[in-house]
Amino acid sequence: MLETAAIFIGSEIYRGSSYGGAHPLRVPRVSTVMDLARSLGWLAGRYRTSPRAKPAALLAFHTAEYIAALQAAEAGMIGAEAMARHQIGTLSNPVFPQIYSRPATGAGGVLLAAELLSEGGAVHVPGGGTHHGLPDRANGFCYLNDPVLAIMALRRMGLRVAYVDLDAHHCDGVEFAFAGVPEVLLISVHEQARWPFTGALGVVAGNCVNLPVPPQYNDSAARLVLHEMILPRLHAFAPQVIVVQAGADALLEDPLSCLALSNNAYVEALREIKRLASRLMLLGGGGYNPWSVGRCWTLLWAELSGQDVPDVLPDAAQAVLRQLSWGGGGRPLPEPALLTTLRDAPREGPICDELRARVAALARA
């Protein structure tokens, strides 16, 4: 149902910005997507620079005290009491040079995307997707909750919003914001027994559908979930806009999950989901292998914007992938295909009875 040209929202703030050398988010991600897409000629006439959200816009979900604490932390002027109260300066949520301006740019990107979607179309904001942030504290690498801010902006337009979260981790911050709001449907597919240890199987408050999946969740299993749970729920809800959080940490190569998807599963999900509404916002999210996350989000941009994906990347695109590294940590170099292609080999496999039973249980819920 998407008819207008897709728009890509990015920013140079992501280039060289890091949570620190010991953190999983030391690796480049959004800048890799920008560079890959540009090297393939896929951004001409479609790229928009993300603005930085103003503090007043962030108050739609976050507290003034918390926003002030983030600004103080970026200025190097935050005290120990405020850090403890707002969970800033922890191993997961460290103080880094762009601790306020980077997440505020992600928030600005989704707010711009919401404006662009007022008349329909599709927008990709790979810097968005920080779905753990809470009103008064950082949580799970997330300082602001841009999916919540995006949904709130779309709701102010009077739109009926469906949010589909494919990240390996449950979207606890988004559920906190919208549980019990009938004009918002939330669907989360995430790894069982994985941080933040929320999102148990079932339907919360009538509108939040949670499906924890077992380790080694593969493309075949994801197809079952897509066609027997996600798409029927979306059809029944009839959204006017769909927000897809495409956290790439469910890919086989990701170091922070035990799932086994190929990026084809993400493409298949996006291809089917985008048929169901005239507006779609595609966000990033998790993803901690620099090669797999960059390839996945670039491939999703190709799907959203109607690009032909080459079997073998041209030299300029391969150069983008070859210059990536883990940034320390002693992990092995990627398989050769991750340096020369965008599309993974399929990762089909058995579908366990436990997953089938959970999907059936949700169909009855």
Q: Which residues are catalytic?
A: 132
CB 54 within 8 A of CB 45: no
Instruction: Please report where in the chains the tokens 């883990």 appear, as a residue.
Output: 326
CB 46 within 8 A of CB 301: no
Question: Could you give the maximum distance between any two Cα atoms of the chain, in Å?
Answer: 54
Put residue 89 in one of left, alpha, beta given phi > 0 → left and psi -120 to 50 → alpha: left
CB 285 within 8 A of CB 11: no
